[in-house]
Amino acid sequence: MRDVDTSDAPPTVLETRVVSGTGGGPDKTILNTPRFLEPYGYRTVCAYFHPPEDPGFDAIRRRAEASSAPLIALPDRGPFDVSLIRRTLDVCRRENVVAWHGHDYKSNLLGLIIRRWHPMRLLTTVHGWVFKSWKASIYFRVDRWCLRRYERVICVSPDLVEECLKGGVPRDRVQLIENAIDVPNYERTQSKEAARRQFGIAPEQALIVAVGRLSPEKNFRMLIQSAARLISEGRNIAVAIAGEGSQREELQALIASTGYADRIRLVGFLSDPRPLYEAADVYALSSDREGLPNVLLEAMAYSLPVVSTAVAGVPRLIQDGANGLLTPIADEPSFFEALRRVVDEVGLRQRLGDAGRATIEARYTFDNRMRQFAAVYAELQIPKAW
């Protein structure tokens, strides 16, 4: 691959991510980054590798447009699509990329390959390894090999810091920067009653909500079974779970088996889950594996009381009994009991919700996260665009 003339574009940080379908939590962070780093003098462009003709990618395009994020779409035909290297290299030259920021194993590997022909700083954010399959184990090994060769490895939770250190990443290259949200985007825009009408929830029902991919690591089975028990004991609740995924049919069958399909519902993928938060009384996170989920930050920003498993970075966010309730991972009796408490005790719901909102305002704003990234860029001597 021969060199070409250097672009006239200003120095650019390229945020890179492999995605299929409508994406997930990391995309909220990635697509918000360009406008929040601009005040610090850094130009950021987002490059997404996606399957050709993937209809779900339209959701990514809409998110990018709503966030004013420059987006470059790069069709990726799989592991044998060597043309992706040339096309990505062309992007790096055209956009004058001085720093590559990877967000998954494949983007990390591509960064190492492309740096052979286009010198640039390499950094990555580790969001978590949540899938369990033979393919995932291969990806995990590839990622660990890549991470040891990156100049800075950002982790969103302390457990991921420990994983990276165990994987051989030098300690001075690993840094904890937790997830965050653009708090002003999570202010109520309608009454709870108006929001509930959108989802067909009766005014007198206590609504428990959850948002996430319908896949085993989210353990929505535990939430459904706990909710069914609450209903069978006479509590007037409803449950709405937003998301799509491989477990949809299995979870729908489980709901039908409880006899409460009119009260426990899968509401599908929501490109904007904020109306669901506005309709809710309680947010439940039942996951077995996570990093630090954005949905938890979003729910707390809406002053929703949260019941969550003590997974990954969540115990740094939630202090049990102070700003939410924590239960052991995969412990259904404990999870049920925590849900029962917040359903039964209105005063507890109010106290936990207010404390949760205060936690987000104090520690998890996107401004604070980007200030930490700007410091990393300065330490790596990444040139500013203005």
Whether 12-180+366-379 shares its CATH topology with 183-363 is answered yes
> Which residues have CB under 8 Å from 357's CB, separation 6+?
300, 301, 302, 303
- Model confidence at 80, pLDDT cuts 50, 70, 90, reads confident
Question: Could you tell me how many residues make up the chain?
Answer: 386
Fold of 183-363: Rossmann fold (3.40.50)
Per cent of the chain over pLDDT 90 is 86
Q: What average pLDDT score do residues 190-200 get?
A: 95
Q: For residues 8 and 313, what is the distance between their CA atoms, to the nearest angstrom? A: 42
> Which residues have CB under 8 Å from 17's CB, separation 6+?
26, 27, 30, 46, 47, 48, 49, 102, 103, 104, 107
pLDDT of amino acid 4: 44
Residue-range domain boundaries for the chain: 12-180+366-379, 183-363
Residue with tokens 């022909």: 117
pLDDT of amino acid 243: 93
pLDDT at residue 213 above 50? Answer: yes
DSSP 228: H
Please give the residue that has the higher pLDDT: either 370 or 129: 370
Q: For residues 351 and 359, what is the distance between their CA atoms, to the nearest angstrom? A: 12
pLDDT in tens, 317-369: 999 999 999 999 999 999 999 999 999 999 999 999 999 999 999 999 999 99
Phi and psi for 165 in degrees, rounded to 5?
-65, -40
Which residues on adjacent β-strands are paired with residue 16?
47, 102
pLDDT of amino acid 187: 93
Q: For residues 377 and 164, what is the distance between their CA atoms, to the nearest angstrom? A: 20
- CA geometry: angle 98, 104, 107, nearest 5 deg: 45
pLDDT of amino acid 2: 42
Cα separations in angstroms, 137 against 64, 142, 319: 31, 9, 32
pLDDT of amino acid 131: 57
pLDDT of amino acid 1: 45
CB 212 within 8 A of CB 287: yes
Q: What average pLDDT score do residues 205-229 get?
A: 96
CB 312 within 8 A of CB 290: yes
Q: For residues 44 and 365, what is the distance between their CA atoms, to the nearest angstrom? A: 19
Q: Which residue type does 310 have? A: A
pLDDT of amino acid 66: 92
CB 303 within 8 A of CB 357: yes
Taken in order 193, 195, 196, 197, the sign of the CA dihedral is: positive
Q: CATH homologous superfamily of domain 12-180+366-379?
A: Glycogen Phosphorylase B; (3.40.50.2000)
pLDDT at residue 12 above 50? Answer: yes
Per cent of the chain over pLDDT 70 is 96
Secondary structure of residue 3 in the 3-state scheme: coil
Q: For residues 59 and 57, what is the distance between their CA atoms, to the nearest angstrom? A: 5
Question: Picking from 52-56, 78-82, 197-201, 234-238, which range would have the lowest pLDDT averaged per residue?
Answer: 78-82
Closest CA to 76 of 122, 116, 16, 8: 16
CB 183 within 8 A of CB 294: no
Q: What average pLDDT score do residues 244-264 get?
A: 96
CB 364 within 8 A of CB 179: yes
pLDDT of amino acid 133: 61
DSSP 49: E
Cα separations in angstroms, 13 against 63, 101, 152, 373: 19, 7, 14, 12
pLDDT at residue 132 above 70? Answer: no
Please give the residue that has the higher pLDDT: either 314 or 134: 314
Q: What average pLDDT score do residues 121-134 get?
A: 80
> Which residues have CB under 8 Å from 91's CB, separation 6+?
14, 47, 72, 74, 97
- Model confidence at 79, pLDDT cuts 50, 70, 90, reads confident
- Model confidence at 52, pLDDT cuts 50, 70, 90, reads very high
pLDDT in tens, 154-186: 999 898 999 999 999 999 999 999 999 999 999
Q: For the chain, what is the mean pLDDT?
A: 93
- Model confidence at 28, pLDDT cuts 50, 70, 90, reads confident
pLDDT in tens, 258-308: 999 999 999 999 989 999 999 999 999 999 988 788 999 999 999 999 999
